[in-house]
Amino acid sequence: MTAPLIRVENLKVEYRSSSGSVTAIPDLSFEVAPGESLGIVGESGCGKSTLLMAIMGHLGPSGAATGRVLFDGKDIAKASPAELRAVRSGGIAMVYQDPNAALNPTLKIGRQLVEVPMLRPGVPLADAKRLAEGMLANVHLPDAASVMERFPHQLSGGQKQRVVIAMALLANPRLLLLDEPTTGLDVTVEAAVLDLVDELRQTYGTSLIYITHNVGVVAQVCDRVGVMYLGDLVEEAPVEALFAQPRHPYTRRLMACVPRLDGDKHTTSFMPIPGQPSSLRDRPPGCPFSPRCVGFTPGLCNHTVPVEDIGPNHRVRCFRHRESPLFEPAAQEIVAPAEPSAELVLEAKGLSKIYRLGGSFFGAQRRAELSANEDLNFAAKKSEIVAIVGESGSGKSTFARILAGLQDATSGKLVVLGSDLANTTASERTSEQLSAVQMVFQNPDATLNPSHSAGFPIARALKKFKVTRGGKETQSRVAELFEMVRLAPSLMRVRPARLSGGQKQRVAIARAFAAAPDILVADEPVSALDVSVQAAIVNLLLQIQKTKGTTIVFISHDLALVRHLADQVIVMYLGKVMESGPVSSLFAPPFHPYTEALLSAVPVPDPTAEQRHVRLSGETPSPINVPKGCRFASRCPRKVGTICDEVPPPERKGEAGHMILCHIPLDELAAIAPILQHKPSERAPA
């Protein structure tokens, strides 16, 4: 093996504050070979970003690192600012999580890019410009010259992230650090950025350290994976070995939380990790994972765990890793899903929402129309889970808000339990109508009022809907609801600031169920949460649904998650339904070209799976004044011809209520190869 490009030895990072110091990384060692790609996964709060900051020397005044960070043989942990600058301008570059924060909003893209090559002595402006333009072309930004002249706000999120990657690559780095570069991007954009990272690695031979919470992403772009927990690498292995034979209980549970395209709620259950990472201050003695580990053995696991070599390049820190497959699954954790009944509770007929925008003051200008929902038709039965999927801007949240009564529809019918509520907003609905449809929102930090205790909105809902008569009765009902969502009832007196994201979403679910709704609208309820927490919340929803028989309208951008929990799926693009049908019909051909593209963009947590690459060009077009033909025509990889631009596509009906809105006939779509195939030689992981 060649000499490692970077070698971290006994790195220890502490943060000091007035109330004492906490250890973020106790003792970490690893190395990355030239050209190698190391992925680091773990939940949030596990010290992943701290590690990158320590390597870059960016810990700030309160952070202190000891140990050695050898880059190309030189110890950069003790380098002077001038030496660090040299390393940053030619050795290590970093791509940050939020491209909006990484670019200066007041400077043109070109101006920000040319700074990088001009840091090297003797590079004139003209050369720097040429380099920058070339690099923008390399990251597949169309029309690089015009991008150079634009300001960051004139680019989309995906384009900005490409610019940031181009900026990092302009430094000719030999090691590129990426800190969750695709979090917050749409799944199709994420797939394109991952392709780009992979391609650039092949072209330039750059080493990568890729930090992510998404196990699927790691499988796609990394050679080797380190699993990080509370600042420790608990397991380290080549990507195939890790996915085929995860040994550490944390790795195993983390992987069991990831929704997969090849399983659903009837065949598999998530196995969420109980609780959340301990805070750095309460670091348990011995194995950091011990408070959450089902295999915790007192007297053994609270001693310092040595690193053990268990295979080629496969290291694990666990006393009981040989028995780890035996820890799970406890039979109680299997969630038996509810079966939909025949009773229809919700029906949308030709539902549309059009926003009329602007229009000049004197009516001289032609009015623009933004059609957020157009001609939505579907029905949901009691105890059914209907998932609505699409990228941002597809109008799925608009529909959720119309259904809940936070907005009214422009035309069409929305029949909820027999009455048409399309134009009846929350303030006009009767108490019965309101309590029939309740909602869980996306952002855990905005869903609870920071000024009120967690139990307050629930008690208030009970009172408003006259479920209880106040006083003790209300309090005990609130406590029951807290127990239903598996929160300690004592938490009802706590302000939201003291709850974790998952706990806040649980309170939000309890609040929605205080009104005993027939229909629950869940607008991306888990997309802001870690996978382990997401798994717990999804299991909880399924369990509550089973006991209460609630119909759930589940809005999501995550196809794998939808695959797991939905009975019926609706795929939306620019406000229109592209495909709908039972969940089983959607994930195999025939599918709509848009569904196909979405499926092929899902990061699959399985390095042995062969995923067909269908990539969409460009970004989602603006929903203002959409074309009269097929809305997807401008990006469709299977576009038939001008008919797609000119003529609205027909609804093609398949089996069991399957519908595809496309000019291509069903049998032709059915002949398309499936997205996922396992490589023939290798076995499927357990």
Beta strands 37-41 and 207-212 are parallel
When the beta carbons of 245 and 423 are compared against another protein, the nearer one is 423
* String marking each residue 213-252 x if it binds another protein according to CB under 8 A: ----------------------------------------
Question: In this chain, which of 138, 276, 556, 611 binds another protein, going by CB under 8 A?
Answer: 276
Stretch that binds another protein, among 152-160, 443-451, 583-591, 662-670 (CB under 8 A): 443-451
When the beta carbons of 12 and 460 are compared against another protein, the nearer one is 460
502 binds another protein (CB under 8 A): yes
326 binds another protein (CB under 8 A): no
> Measured between alpha carbons, how far apart are the two ends of the chain, in Å?
31
* Token output for 641: 């011809």
Tell me the DSSP string of 186-212.
-HHHHHHHHHHHHHHHHHH--EEEEEE
Question: In this chain, which of 85, 130, 303, 493 binds another protein, going by CB under 8 A?
Answer: 493
Stretch that binds another protein, among 159-167, 375-383, 489-497, 589-597 (CB under 8 A): 489-497
256 binds another protein (CB under 8 A): no
282 binds another protein (CB under 8 A): yes
When the beta carbons of 137 and 479 are compared against another protein, the nearer one is 479
Beta bridge partners of 401: none
- Give the residue carrying structure tokens 């870059």: 56
649 binds another protein (CB under 8 A): no
Is residue 519 within 8 Å of 553, Cβ to Cβ? yes
When the beta carbons of 490 and 677 are compared against another protein, the nearer one is 490
Nearest distance in Å: CB 192, another protein: 31
Tell me the DSSP string of 422-452.
TT--GGGS-HHHHHHEEEE-S-TTTSS-TTS
When the beta carbons of 172 and 433 are compared against another protein, the nearer one is 433
Nearest distance in Å: CB 654, another protein: 36
333 binds another protein (CB under 8 A): yes
CA distances from 164 to 151, 169, 176, 395 (A): 13, 9, 12, 29
Where in 371-410 is the site for another protein (CB under 8 A)? Answer: 401, 404-406
When the beta carbons of 144 and 254 are compared against another protein, the nearer one is 254
Question: In this chain, which of 30, 441, 513, 554 binds another protein, going by CB under 8 A?
Answer: 441
452 binds another protein (CB under 8 A): yes
Query: Which of 270, 1, 56 lies closest to 178, judged by CA?
Result: 56
Between CA 510 and CA 505 the distance in angstroms is 9
When the beta carbons of 150 and 486 are compared against another protein, the nearer one is 486
Nearest distance in Å: CB 244, another protein: 26
Question: In this chain, which of 6, 25, 76, 434 binds another protein, going by CB under 8 A?
Answer: 434
User: What is the distance, to the nearest Å, from the Cα of residue 507 to the centroid of all Cα atoms in its chain?
Assistant: 21
Nearest distance in Å: CB 276, another protein: 5
* Token output for 612: 């067909």
User: What is the distance, to the nearest Å, from the Cα of residue 241 to the centroid of all Cα atoms in its chain?
Assistant: 25
When the beta carbons of 511 and 638 are compared against another protein, the nearer one is 511
Stretch that binds another protein, among 195-203, 258-266, 458-466, 572-580 (CB under 8 A): 458-466
Nearest distance in Å: CB 323, another protein: 16
- Give the residue carrying structure tokens 């050795």: 91
When the beta carbons of 398 and 503 are compared against another protein, the nearer one is 503
For residue 56, the surrounding DSSP H or E stretch is helix 48-56
Go through 300-326 and write b for each residue having 16 or more CB atoms within 10 A of its CB, e for each that does not.
ebeeebeeeebeeebbbbbbbbeebee
Where in 293-322 is the site for another protein (CB under 8 A)? Answer: 293-294, 296
Per the rule left: phi > 0, alpha: psi between -120 and 50, beta: everything else, 625 is: left
CA dihedral of residues 93, 99, 104, 110 (deg, nearest 10): 70
3-state secondary structure of 502: helix
Nearest distance in Å: CB 488, another protein: 4
Where in 17-46 is the site for another protein (CB under 8 A)? Answer: 17, 19, 22
Question: In this chain, which of 57, 157, 226, 272 binds another protein, going by CB under 8 A?
Answer: 272
CA dihedral of residues 112, 113, 119, 120 (deg, nearest 10): -170
640 binds another protein (CB under 8 A): no
When the beta carbons of 220 and 447 are compared against another protein, the nearer one is 447
Nearest distance in Å: CB 267, another protein: 17
- Phi and psi dihedrals of 74, rounded to 5? -100, 140
139 binds another protein (CB under 8 A): no
Nearest distance in Å: CB 229, another protein: 14
When the beta carbons of 25 and 586 are compared against another protein, the nearer one is 25
The letter for the amino acid at 210 is Y
Query: Which of 410, 403, 412, 406 lies closest to 380, judged by CA?
Result: 403
Question: In this chain, which of 172, 278, 377, 392 binds another protein, going by CB under 8 A?
Answer: 278
Is residue 507 within 8 Å of 481, Cβ to Cβ? no
When the beta carbons of 173 and 395 are compared against another protein, the nearer one is 395
When the beta carbons of 77 and 293 are compared against another protein, the nearer one is 293
* String marking each residue 460-479 x if it binds another protein according to CB under 8 A: xx--xx--------------
Between CA 161 and CA 159 the distance in angstroms is 5
Between CA 78 and CA 84 the distance in angstroms is 9
Between CA 420 and CA 416 the distance in angstroms is 6
Stretch that binds another protein, among 106-114, 187-195, 328-336, 599-607 (CB under 8 A): 328-336
Stretch that binds another protein, among 96-104, 221-229, 252-260, 435-443 (CB under 8 A): 435-443
515 binds another protein (CB under 8 A): yes
Cis omega (within 30 of 0) for bond into 329: yes
Nearest distance in Å: CB 298, another protein: 8
Nearest distance in Å: CB 138, another protein: 40
Is residue 599 within 8 Å of 609, Cβ to Cβ? no
CA dihedral of residues 284, 285, 286, 290 (deg, nearest 10): -30
When the beta carbons of 457 and 649 are compared against another protein, the nearer one is 457
Length of the chain: 686
Question: In this chain, which of 2, 267, 427, 681 binds another protein, going by CB under 8 A?
Answer: 427
279 binds another protein (CB under 8 A): yes
Sign for the CA dihedral angle at 439, 445, 446, 449 comes to positive
Instruction: Name the strands in the sheet holding 314-316, side by side, starting at the edge strand that comes first in the sequence.
Output: 92-95, 175-179, 207-212, 37-41, 224-229, 232-238, 314-316, 308-311
When the beta carbons of 239 and 536 are compared against another protein, the nearer one is 536
Question: In this chain, which of 291, 350, 549, 637 binds another protein, going by CB under 8 A?
Answer: 291
Where in 537-596 is the site for another protein (CB under 8 A)? Answer: 539-540
Question: In this chain, which of 11, 103, 421, 487 binds another protein, going by CB under 8 A?
Answer: 487
